[in-house]
């Protein structure tokens, strides 16, 4: 069985870690990030280059960890019991709130619009049921615990952000607006989602809210995408900001830092979303840096990016759910808190907080 798991881990990690070019730049009026057969990062992005030898070394180390690892010690205060999480959510009533389901999955309600970000409720972040990164603990809320969902947002195609098992099991799909990067719409049209919007960077989508409209902007990110070794960068990747009822949220997706990009996003958020009340910052899967830099930022980078965007408070995410890299379990959280200071807002998996308590 260990050999099977090890072989599965090689396949899964190969999917996660493949990266290569996908064509030549297009001429004419096409944006810089559009290529002949896919997409690329914004100008000035850190270039990720990892030799074949270093990839094989990393894969070998990762497989050994999969086969021999006896379990991560999980702090007692890392997650709420499911019944407590359900009771906490129920007590919020009609107020705006944010709940951390785990990893990059959040349930957010603004002005009556319920949004589900990068929903992954499955047991593994993997194309296979028997191998690949497994959840260290259950989702903070189960699908059946959720209120009716109005909007689902996907940042990119990787299995820890786009989970078809979850997409198949969300109820009332015909009433959900799915907002996805270019190239990912078919995952939702094939499953009967009511409205599917494939978006490019800086595209906007609006839906009615209780007192006006919910507005979402697709923003750039410094990352890459694939579902297999054969579709690298054929779909786009993004961060995103959204607002309604005078409150706003920014979700990084997966990204590396950038000298100017996120300050520009912050200026756009200020003009179009009234700023950023809450940033959901991807701070895990950064070690070893020689392997992960150019695709994932470290905790200090997450804090700096949140300040560039202008976020008043910042929740660390993309840690403590799946083991995708080599940093110690609680290190992302601890380093982020040190770097972000009183702007850091550490949530428990399953915890729900009122937006009015966060932004005041």
If you average pLDDT over every residue of the chain, what do you get? 90
Domain coordinates of the chain in residue numbers?
A: 82-359
pLDDT of residue 22: 57
Q: Is 136 helix (H, G, I), strand (E, B) or coil?
A: coil
238-291 pLDDT per residue, tens: 999 999 999 999 999 999 999 999 999 999 999 999 999 999 999 999 998 888
**From edge to edge, which strands make up the β-sheet containing 239-244?**
204-208, 213-219, 239-244, 247-251, 276-282, 311-317
Give me Rg for the CA atoms of the chain. Answer: 19
* pTM beyond 0.95: no
In CATH terms, the superfamily for domain 82-359 is Ribonuclease Z/Hydroxyacylglutathione hydrolase-like (3.60.15.10)
171-214 pLDDT per residue, tens: 999 999 999 999 999 999 999 999 999 999 999 999 999 999 99
295-353 pLDDT per residue, tens: 999 999 999 999 999 999 999 999 999 988 889 999 999 999 999 999 999 999 999 99
Confidence of residue 110 (pLDDT cuts 50, 70, 90): very high
What tokens appear for 90 in the block? 């129920």
Query: Is the Cα dihedral 287, 324, 34, 264 positive or negative?
Result: negative
């Amino acid at each position: 069985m260990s050999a099977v798991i090890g072989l599965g881990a090689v396949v899964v990690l190969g999917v996660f870690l493949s990266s290569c070019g996908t064509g030549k730049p297009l001429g004419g009026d096409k944006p810089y990030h559009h290529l002949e057969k896919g997409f690329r990062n914004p100008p000035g992005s850190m270039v990720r280059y990892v030799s074949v030898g270093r990839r094989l070394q990393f894969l070998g180390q990762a497989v050994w960890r999969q086969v021999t690892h006896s379990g991560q010690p999980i702090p007692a205060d890392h997650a709420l019991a499911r019944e407590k999480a359900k009771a906490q959510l129920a007590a919020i009533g009609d107020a705006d709130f944010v709940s951390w389901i785990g990893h990059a999955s959040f349930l957010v309600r603004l002005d009556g619009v319920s949004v589900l970000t990068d929903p992954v409720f499955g047991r593994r972040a993997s194309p296979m049921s028997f191998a690949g990164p497994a959840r260290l603990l259950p989702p903070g809320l189960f699908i059946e615990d959720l209120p009716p969902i109005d909007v689902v947002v996907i940042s990119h195609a990787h299995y820890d952000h786009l989970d078809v098992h979850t997409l198949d099991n969300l109820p009332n799909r015909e009433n959900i607006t799915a907002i996805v990067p270019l190239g990912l719409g078919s995952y939702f049209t094939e499953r009967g989602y009511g409205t599917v919007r494939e978006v490019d960077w800086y595209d906007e989508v609006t839906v009615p809210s209780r007192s006006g409209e919910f507005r979402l902007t697709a923003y750039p990110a410094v990352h890459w995408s694939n579902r297999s070794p054969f579709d690298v960068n054929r779909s786009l990747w993004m961060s995103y900001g959204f607002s309604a009822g005078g409150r706003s949220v920014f979700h990084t997706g997966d990204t590396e830092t950038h000298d100017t990009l996120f300050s520009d996003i912050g200026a756009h958020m200020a003009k179009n979303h009234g700023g950023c009340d809450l940033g959901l910052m991807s701070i895990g899967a950064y070690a070893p840096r020689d392997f992960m830099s150019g695709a994932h930022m470290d905790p200090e980078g997450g804090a700096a990016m949140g300040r560039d965007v202008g976020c008043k408070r910042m929740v660390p995410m993309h840690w403590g759910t799946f083991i995708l890299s080599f940093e110690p379990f609680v290190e992302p959280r601890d380093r982020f808190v040190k770097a972000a200071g009183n702007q850091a807002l550490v949530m428990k998996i399953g915890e729900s907080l009122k937006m009015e308590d966060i932004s005041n």
